[in-house]
Structure formats: C-alpha cells, structure tokens
Amino acid sequence: MFEELIDGWDGEATCIRHDAATGAWMFVCVHSTVLGPAMGGTRMKVYPSPHDALADGLRLAQAMSMKQAAADLPFGGGKAVLAVPSIPAPGSAERRDLLLRYAGLVDALHGTYVTAADMNTGPADLDVVRERTPHVMGTSPERGGAGDSGEGTAIGVFHAIRASVAHAFGDPSLEGRTVLVQGVGSVGGRLARLLADAGARLVLADVDAPRASALANELGAVTVAAEAAASTPCDVYAPCATGGVLNEETIPRLACRVVAGAANNQLASAEDGVRLADAGILYAPDYVANAGGVIHLAGSETLGWDEGQLAARLAGIGGTLAMVFASAERDGVTPAEAADRLALARIEAAR
Ligand code: NAI
C-alpha cells in the first residue's frame, strides 16, 4: 500500500514503524542528505489513513530540502510523522512512552535524520526525545536547546514582507500599509506585533475569534471573520495558519498586491503560482519566507552564531527574496519556480 508513494518519490530513504502499543504509525522521511543531515520536525496528527500520513511526510520532507537549501544552511531535508489514533495528552505517560519509542527509531538512523518540532509537538516533547537520542534540535532552553522556533520564524516572515513590499511598491516601509495576518498563533501573533511596531495597519483573522480580538485590542488592529480573510482588501496577505490557502477558488477572490506569510505549502498546486502571477499578485515563496525557524535552530544549536549573526541571517531572508524576485523577472518564471531553481542549484552544486 505504501509502495506506489515511495516509488514515486525522489527522496533517499523512508523508515516505517508500526507502534503496536498505541496503533500509531511512525514515518521518518529522509529526502536529501546532500547538504548535510536531513533536518525537519516531527508532526503528530490524526490522519484518515496511514497512506495519507506517509504522503504528508514525503511531501513535507521534500519541502524541507528546498527550505534548507534556499536558506543556505548545511542541512538536508527530512520530516517525521507520528500518525496517531488520537493525540495523547501533553505530559501523559502514554505520550511520553510513544515519544521514547519514536526516539529509539530516530537514534537508529545515527544522525542521518535530525528531528525538531512541528504540528502538535514542542520543546517539552523534544526534551523526552532527547533522553534517547542526541539527534534532536529545539529542546527547551533548560535542556540546552533553542526552544520554540516561532519567534525566529516570525522575524523572518517580517523581513520577507518588507522585501516583498519593496519589490511591489518600490519602498520597504510598512508605515500605513495594510497587512492581513491570517492565524495569530505562535508565529502570526508575534508577526502582528512586529508589524504593528513598524507602523502597519493590521487586520487579524483567526478561527479562534476571541484570540484575534484580544490581540487586535492590544495592537489597535481590526479583525475580520476567518472565512473572509482571503477576500479582504489589503496590501499584504500573510497566511500564518494552514496550507493550501492559495488555490483555484481563493485566488480570484484575493484583493491584495502581495502574499507573504509563514504557512507551509500555501500553493495548493504548482499552477496556482502562475494564477497568482497572472492576477498581478507578488508571491513570496513560503519556504523562503518561513525559514527563520530552521535558521534559528541551526544557528543557535549547531553553527555557534551569536545574536548579531542570527539577526543578520534572519534579515538575509529579505535579501534571498529580492534575489528570487529578480531572477523570476529575468527568466520569465514565477517566484515559486525561481526559488525552486535556486534551491535545486545549491543542492546540485554540492553533489
Ligand atoms: P499555531 O498553531 O501556533 O497557530 C495557528 C493559528 O492559526 C491558531 O491561532 C489557529 O487558531 C489559527 N487557524 C487555524 N486554522 C485557521 C483558519 N482556517 N483561518 C484562520 N486562522 C486559523 O501555529 P504556528 O506555529 O503559528 O504556525 C503557523 C503556520 O506557520 C503553520 O502553517 C506552520 O506549519 C507554519 N510554520 C511554522 C513554523 C514555526 O516555527 N512555528 C516554521 C515554519 C512554518
């Protein structure tokens, strides 16, 4: 049942373990180790089937290879998925035991794959994983790790928005620009604060409406209903909630000049990159814009950067995007295609 998916994938290795004690499936997908160990988070999620979970892992691992390469980090791309029958409560014995068994699997790969946090996993879970394997990043600061990567991601997206605004309007200033932040969680909430400090006019949307309202009150922003986010007029639409938000149905409704946000896999399909360009909307490729999290982890935990170096590399996301936009125009391709070319060229050059 997994054969077709794995046969049709261009990655290096897939490790599959069924956890009899819980009924969970564990998938570790190593897409590329050309630039360094395959690094990417562990997603814990309830999927309709193990097949869907593996498909998600394979796709996410490939995207991590592109993200690491575009960020010019000495890491390859990987991802792990824990497809659980139900999410075990944080701090429960069941969750801890599952994580320890999963850590054994990661350890058996001897550093080919280095894990981190993703959907439904965080520093506390990684502290448990660290008990069984050293191949983990983003443990809590008390355990010597870099902790939550949300702050680094938000700073990187902020620089991505400035670079995109500079390209679209000829000036990076956010003073008076309207930015719609869709999803004000770990990344979107922090991003909203940075944007408010920079003088942007903020529109906030979240399925958790009280969360959006509370932040809007604090920052002097307005809110719109979550369903209205994509079609609300703004200069910059910043998707910071779920993937697939740019698709055949939403793109004709967009009323923005720029899309730049944190969500992974924003384009539902490759054609949606062309649809955006045809609509005159500048798209900041997601894996370039949201690389601040891996830059933060790699810089703080393995590359020994001080705060100044880290800040410079986060700001460098803006420079990378400017390069991507320029080469897209020069080569007559979409920014998404230009980013893929940049990342693939770096991987090829290292072979
Ligand atoms: P989070 O779970 O802390 O926040 C997500 C927020 O979006 C929540 O407030 C949630 O209520 C809201 N939301 C969910 N569905 C929504 C919808 N349909 N419309 C409006 N709001 C909705 O997640 P986090 O960590 O802030 O991540 C946000 C996005 O950025 C995700 O797509 C994630 O994959 C991506 N990302 C996060 C990184 C990180 O370092 N945390 C790194 C790279 C990407």
* Cα torsion through 206, 207, 210, 215, rounded to 10: -10
Which atom of ligand 1 sits closest to the CA of residue 245? 18
The percent of residues above 70 in pLDDT, for the chain, comes to 100
* Contact between 201 and 235 (Cβ < 8 Å): no
Count of CB atoms situated within 10 Å of the CB of 305: 17
Task: Give 207 Cα–ligand 1 centroid separation in angstroms.
Answer: 11
CB atoms within 10 A of CB 110: 10
- pLDDT of residue 68 exceeding 90, the answer is yes
Mean pLDDT of 255-280: 96
The sheet carrying 178-182 orders its strands as 222-223, 201-205, 178-182, 236-239, 258-259, 282-283
Q: Which residues line ligand 1 (CB under 6 A)?
A: 149-150, 153, 182-188, 205-208, 211, 226, 240-243, 262-264, 290, 293
Atom of ligand 1 nearest to the CA of 293: 40
> Where is pLDDT greater, at 351 or 153?
153
> Which of 218-222, 223-227, 241-245, 333-337 is least confident?
241-245
Please indicate whether residue 79 is annotated as part of the active site.
Answer: yes
Whole-number percent of the chain with pLDDT over 90: 99
Is the predicted pLDDT of residue 139 greater than 90, yes or no?
A: yes
Q: What is the pLDDT of residue 61?
A: 97
pLDDT of residue 3: 94
pLDDT, residue 1, reads 80
Mutate to test the pocket of ligand 1, among 81, 157, 187, 203 (most ligand atoms within 8 A of CB): 187
Query: Which whole number is the average pLDDT over 233-239?
Result: 98
Catalytic residue among 31, 43, 79, 95: 79
Predicted TM-score of the model (pTM): 0.96
With cut-offs at 50, 70 and 90, classify the pLDDT of residue 322.
very high
Which sign does the torsion angle of CA 101, 99, 113, 14 carry?
A: positive
Mean pLDDT of the chain: 97
> Which atom of ligand 1 is nearest the CA belonging to 243?
32
